[in-house]
Amino acid sequence: MPFFRRLSPRRLMIFGSAFVLFGFFAFSLAPITSPLPRYTGPHEVGVLDVEVEVEPRLVNGNEAVLKETGERAFELSTLAVTLYYPSTIPPPAPGQPQPYARPWLPQPISLIGTGYARLARVYFPPLQALFTFTMWALGSSTVIPGIVDAPLLSQSQKTLLDESGGISGLGRVTEAEESDGRMELRGTKGDKTVDVNVQGIDNLLKEKFPCVVFTHGMAGMSQSYSHYLGSIASHGYVVAAIEHRDGSGPGTIVHHPNGTERRVWHLQLADLSASPAMTAADLKVAQLAFREAEIHETVQLFQNLTAGHGATLTNLKPDSPSSSLAGFKDRLDMDAITVAGHSYGATGALQALKCAPSADVPFNGGIALDPGKGSGPLNHAIEVPTLVLQSGEWTDKQTQFYDQGWHFAVVRDLVAATRKGWFLTLRGTAHPSVTDAPLIVPWIMRLVTGTTLNAEVALREYIDVSVDFLQVLQRVRNAGPLTRPVSSPEGPLGEVQDRGTVEGSSGGEWEVHVVSEV
């Protein structure tokens, strides 16, 4: 071992110092994290964490209890969401502090760090502290762009869409006249007067905003998709991202009106006591039922806000204001609510479309991003327009799906059966590509997932196609991939030469598997 014999204390000190300096310069030149980019739409975005009391109940009467605490595992008592909405960011008054953005990681960070440690079945406190330190190192400096509790965008500040579905640049509307189904609009842009014809946009001049309910994936959180959801909001939608309490996330805190708290950790079968004992399939059914109950409570929250109850609503989320909620009165379009989700949440979103649209299920459409492969069978009873977007990884890595065939074929046939749905795959992406993770730690995610499409380009493609779909639901015409014919009918189940692509708005390549027939 001649090399180690030559390592004197002095040489060890020199090598150690060189290593520290190398690490310092490496991380200075190539920082481990990146800030989240600006949203893609024309509007600024308000962000607000809201938790409200709901009617306490056991979802589906499930009486399973947690072995650790003896508490009911599936008792719903409050609803927690993060709202993203188009806003006007007011300048601070003289002497007042600047508006502030929401930290990307929920507080306390130890809750999330411990939650991910428990998810990995790590219960040794020093190792849990290591998880917390990692979360702090990777996410503590990241903030969600947008202003907490900013006012909802006023009618006069809405930016118009031209007949191709893009931003017209019209500025502020000064005149409007309807003739033969077309809207003749006049507005101002700088010191110029601009005219534009818009066809078939019934809600364009209304004060009411369409809404989106979003449900996160397994081990995800309500803010894990902040760029995707905030960008949708920046295009003129009010989005509620649910903080699920079904035991699928790393950790969350239920805040009761009496000031008490209950911590909800990630659930596995070994954590539950039930009679008869629950199976893995039973747990999925229970969690999806709980998620569906939270989805419907979110619709009720929208109803309460537009009915004018925001002024008296008690926000149970600690240190979260709620003064902006009074401004939601008469501002939400309850006939235009879309449910969306990723992975486990996509399975839940599709399940929530059963019996839609109806008074109890007022959804006008659904967006499913990488519907789960192990989240349970998918709901096929869908009567509303549906958009399914899959990552390249999710489409290419095929698995048998609950004895129904290959997952790709099951999803394709589900969408085709609606006759008013689209199914596309974005090449060069992976399952987490729609989340914030590839934006915050880009080189780590590229190394782990093997993606080839730039993270910001991928997110912009997901956002643009999703917004195109939401505009289609409002009868707005667009010129994106949703207008293109099928280019890859069999996807990974067919021949390579038959997998054609169409170009997206930012240069990404989409495989189009199913298009709407109506």
Specify whether the CB–CB gap between 76 and 254 falls below 8 A.
no
Instruction: Give me 471's structure tokens.
Output: 């505009």
Q: Is there a catalytic annotation at residue 266?
A: no
Q: Is there a catalytic annotation at residue 370?
A: yes
Q: Is there a catalytic annotation at residue 17?
A: no
State how far the alpha carbon of 426 is from the alpha carbons of 271, 385, 471, 491, 509, in Å: 37, 20, 20, 12, 6
DSSP 438: H
Cis before 438? omega within 30? no
Residue from 149, 162, 333, 370 carrying the catalytic annotation? 370
What residues does 58 pair with on adjacent strands? 75
Alpha helices in 201-279 (DSSP H): 226-234
Instruction: Give me 375's structure tokens.
Output: 């989240």
Burial label for 405, CB within 10 Å (0-12, 13-18, 19+), is middle
Residue from 431, 436, 464, 466 carrying the catalytic annotation? 431
Torsion of CA 221, 223, 225, 230, to 10 degrees: 150
* Separation of alpha carbons 392 and 513, rounded Å: 13
SS3 428: coil
Q: What is the CA radius of gyration of the chain?
A: 24
DSSP track, 134-202: HHHHHHTT-EESSEETPPBPPGGGPPPB-TTSSB----EEEEEEEETTEEEEEEEETTEEEEEEEES-T
* Separation of alpha carbons 510 and 424, rounded Å: 6
Residue from 248, 343, 433, 505 carrying the catalytic annotation? 343
User: Which positions are annotated as active-site residues?
Assistant: 343, 370, 431
